[in-house]
Amino acid sequence: MRNFSQPYQQTGFTLIELVIFIVVVGLVIASVFVPLQTILENSPNPNYQAIVTALAQERMEIILAQRYINGFASLTADPCPGLGVCVAAPTGYTISPAVITSPFTVNGDAAYKQIVVTVTGPGNSKAVLTSLVGNY
C-alpha cells in the first residue's frame, strides 16, 4: 500500500519530454545533413573532372608540340584555330588556352613564356594546367 505522506517519486519520461527529445534530435540531424547535401550537389563529378583534365592535357600537348615544331618565337597564341588536328570541345565544355607572352624572369633570365589552359565543364568541374616554357 502506498504511503501518501511521502512525495510521489516519478520514474521514466513523460510524453512531452519524449516529443521534445525527438524534435531536438531531428533539428540536429537536419543541421548536419542539409549542408552536407549542398556540398555534394556543388562538388565536381569525378567523371566530368576526368574529362576536363584530359581535355586540358590534350590542348597543352598540342601547344607544346607546336612550340617544338615551329620554335619558341611561334609561341604567341593558341595554334588550334589554324590547325586541323584540334578537336572542338564537347557540348557543355569550354577550353580557354592562353599563352602569356610577357617575359617571365627566372634567375635573371627573361627567355620564358607561360602557357595556361583552363577547361570548364558541367557540374562545377574545372581543370587548370600551367606550363613555363623556356627558349632553349
Do residues 22 and 75 share a domain?
Answer: no
Residue % of the chain over a pLDDT of 70? 86
Check residue 49 and give its pLDDT: 86
pLDDT of 59 > 80? The answer is yes
* Residue 8 resides in a domain: no
* Torsional class of 17: left (φ above 0), alpha (ψ -120 to 50), beta (otherwise): alpha
pLDDT of 10 > 70? The answer is no
* Residue 29 resides in a domain: yes
Domain tally, the chain: 2
pLDDT digits (tens, 9 = 90+) for 19-55: 999 999 999 999 988 888 888 777 777 888 888 899 8
Do residues 65 and 104 share a domain?
Answer: yes
Do residues 94 and 130 share a domain?
Answer: yes
Check residue 21 and give its pLDDT: 94
Helix (H, G, I), strand (E, B) or coil at 33: helix
Full domain range(s) for residue 27: 13-42
* Residue 4 resides in a domain: no
Check residue 134 and give its pLDDT: 80
Block residue for cell numbers 584540334 = 86
Do residues 83 and 31 share a domain?
Answer: no
Average pLDDT over residues 85-100: 80
Q: What's the distance, CA 33 to chain centroid?
A: 21
Sequence-distant (6+) residues with CB within 8 A of 65 are none
